[in-house]
């Protein structure tokens, strides 16, 4: 009888704890999924103006989104008058958040770098010297492809 009572008490405790543990784990998984989705949305699915608005509003900070940035690092933000600063901000956003989220595959870095190149090209399309601007953008892109690994993960 004592053994049965101990077994029932133990099973009751396990049954009572399991839904909480399961819910807690599910909540953590949902937050992680939402964090990944939010990061990818701002990085890949918004135009640069909407990205900057989200950055200024610090959207997603409660999820753990990292909005810190240093612009184009040791390179000029606006080389030869070409406005790459905002492209660099989004590139920083990608590197920092993917590193924080431990999403460190080579394909992830390449996708972020290609997005950086496209952001610069989009900026180049607004100016008078698109060819010259894209030539400089290609240098910036090549630099992050070759030397950006230390900063990515």
Is residue 91 a contact partner of residue 112, using CB atoms and an 8 Å limit?
yes
- 91 by Cβ neighbours in 10 Å (0-12 / 13-18 / 19+) ranks as buried
Name the catalytic one among 41, 85, 91, 151: 91
Active site residue 91: yes
- Alpha-carbon distance of 2 to 5, in angstroms, equals 5
* Beta carbons within 8 Å of 28's beta carbon, 6+ residues apart: none
Would you please indicate which residues are annotated as catalytic (active-site) residues?
91
């Amino acid at each position: 009888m004592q053994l049965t009572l101990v077994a029932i008490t133990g099973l009751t405790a396990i049954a009572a704890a399991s839904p909480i543990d399961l819910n807690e784990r599910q909540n953590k998984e949902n937050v992680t999924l939402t964090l990944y989705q939010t990061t990818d949305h701002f990085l890949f699915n918004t135009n640069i103006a909407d990205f900057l608005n989200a950055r200024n509003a610090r959207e997603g900070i409660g999820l753990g989104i990292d909005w810190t940035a240093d612009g184009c690092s040791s390179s000029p933000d606006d080389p030869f008058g070409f406005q790459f600063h905002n492209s660099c901000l989004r590139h920083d956003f990608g590197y920092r958040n993917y590193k924080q989220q431990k999403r460190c595959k080579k394909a992830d870095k390449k996708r972020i770098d290609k997005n950086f190149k496209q952001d610069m090209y989009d900026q180049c399309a607004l100016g008078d010297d698109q060819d010259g601007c894209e030539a400089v953008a290609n240098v910036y892109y090549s630099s992050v492809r070759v030397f950006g690994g230390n900063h990515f993960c």
